[in-house]
Chain A
Amino acid sequence: MARLVVLGGGVSGHTAATFAAKWLGSSHEVVVVTPNSKWNWIPSNIWVGVGQMSKEEVTFDLAPVYAKAGINFKQAKAVSINPEGSESEAKPFVTIEYTESGREGESEIVEYDYLINATGPKLNFAATPGLGDANGLGEHTVSVCTADHAVHASQELQKCIEKMKAGERQKFLVGTGHGMCTCQGAAFEYIFNIEHELKKAGVRDMADIKWISNESFLGDFGMGGLHMKVGGYVVSSKLFAESLFAERGVDWLIGAHTSKVEEGKIEYELLDGSKNEEEFDFAMLIPPFAGVGLKAYSKDGEDITATVFAPNGFMKVDANYAAGAYENWKASDWPRTYQNPTYKNMFAAGIAFAPPHIISKPMSSPNGTPINPTPPRTGMPSGIIGKAVAHSVCDLMTKGENAHLHEASMAEMGAACVASAGKGLTTGTAAAMTVYPVVPDFEKYPGTGRDTDYTFGEIGLAGHWIKHILHHLFLYKAKLNPGWTLIPE
């Protein structure tokens, strides 16, 4: 019996672990190591953040689901990997530290035959002074990155609504908290959900709402934007994003690196090098992502973290990390199998793999401050990658080390994305989009980088219905209810 250890129980890790457990049956062991006791459908945190859903509606306990699937669940965080074992341990192993109530801080060594690193990101609030520190979110802003953060955000939003009802004008600032952030989509959803809720509360005219982002143009979303066919035209997402902002009366500030956060005020630097300040009463600023800080050690105890992980803390996989300047970037630089090049029994999935480079055009201010979105690896691509990696590992375990590896390049897969702009059965709207492929391929599509027959977007109530249905569908799937494998990632 061989053992697969999956680090992380988010979209990618949960997908990988549950499919692996199904495919391997009882002949092999699957272990999941994740610090959280609950699974969180993160896209719906937006609605928790405006008080339209409760924390309980977007989370569920992992332990009973893993018990049902025959997965050995360890509520712990991974600290280090010894891919060669150690002087006392012949097999490779992971050192974990329990976070489970009653076992906090307890350390354990978990041996593995195969390892899938799907740890997701560290929310690096400490990257921007005042945004937070090593312990997480600071006191000046709110976040919707976790369900607990979103509950707090909702409470703060309600306080602002009460102030507006009492006649006090409020300034809302939503966007990115650093020049190297990703996940602009979440902030985009949050700002329009706030606007929608303020309208419902009858206080929209008492609010000034402003978007601040590291994108060089509205609608970049860390993907270099997208072009879609609308009304017989092929147009940039910039046009549609700007249109929505103008329609809803939301100002925007782009190409901005938030350099400091204080009580009621941020400092930022723009792509032209100018430095300014912006005041706020309520701010939701997404932090930059980093690897979770796993260390790696060789058999004799030497630190080999730089061999296994990129400088940003994400695990190296079969990507081309030597592409160099923007002009040399190709779709083929992106990984296909997500296998670590040094240790063939290690894979990375979802946000945990190190991308070869960003997708958007790299930008920096005259002061040398990089201000550009980093690539998104969340949602549908994350699930597809998790499943492909699980498939590869299962084949390696059951067919031997020469088994064919399954591929899921982001430069060859599309993604469907639904961005909420307000919740309501008959009044809600959302932008429903597909992109194909996720990473533009300018060799195949020299103008737009994508196939415009499969890249589209439109906003409306239908998009909201789809987002709401997806909420229930993916929670149903993640709970491994009957027929869960029929629901695509």
Chain B
Amino acid sequence: MKHEERNFEKSDQFNLTMIPGAFARKMRTCVIWQFIRFVAINIKMIVVVGKSH
């Protein structure tokens, strides 16, 4: 059974949310993609930190 099917089934609370599918979950720990996100998030954070000092 798919992960999201199992979790949607657990409760009404869970059933009314969005749950990431296998691809989205895989990308969260995909080292190559996450390295790109690491660079992107750092740039965004540096901008916000710069605006706050």
Contact = CB atoms under 8 A, between A and B. Distances in A.
Given A384-B53, A460-B29, A462-B34, A246 B13 contact: yes
B53 A429 contact: no
A23 B2 CA distance: 59
Interface string B33-48: 0110110011011011
Nearest to B40: A462
Interface string A414-436: 11100000000011010010101
Contact of B38 (A247, A251, A465): A465
Most buried by B among A380, A384, A454, A461: A461
A239 interface: yes
Contact of A429 (B29, B47, B51): B29
Contact of A436 (B4, B27, B38, B48): B48
Contacts, number: 92
Given A429-B28, A429-B29, A436-B51, A463 B7 contact: no
Contacts of A460: 27-29, 34, 37
A482 B45 CA distance: 23
Interface string A451-489: 000101011111101100000000000000000000011
A2 interface: no
Contacts of A489: 53
A242 interface: yes
A458 B34 CA distance: 11
B19 to A, nearest CB: 5
12 contacts: A242-B16, A243-B19, A243-B20, A246-B10, A249-B14, A251-B13, A380-B52, A414-B52, A416-B45, A461-B31, A462-B38, A466-B45
B5 to A, nearest CB: 12
B8 to A, nearest CB: 8
Given A426-B31, A454-B48, A460-B27, A466 B13 contact: no
A247 B31 CA distance: 21
A461 B13 contact: no
A458 B47 contact: no
Interface in A362-409: 380, 384
B48 A416 contact: yes
Interface string A436-459: 100000000000000000101011
B20 A461 contact: no
A416 B44 CA distance: 9
Interface in A64-85: none
A128 B16 CA distance: 33
Most buried by B among A239, A246, A252: A246
Nearest to B31: A426
A249 B37 CA distance: 26
B29 A413 contact: no
Nearest to B38: A462
Interface in A159-192: none
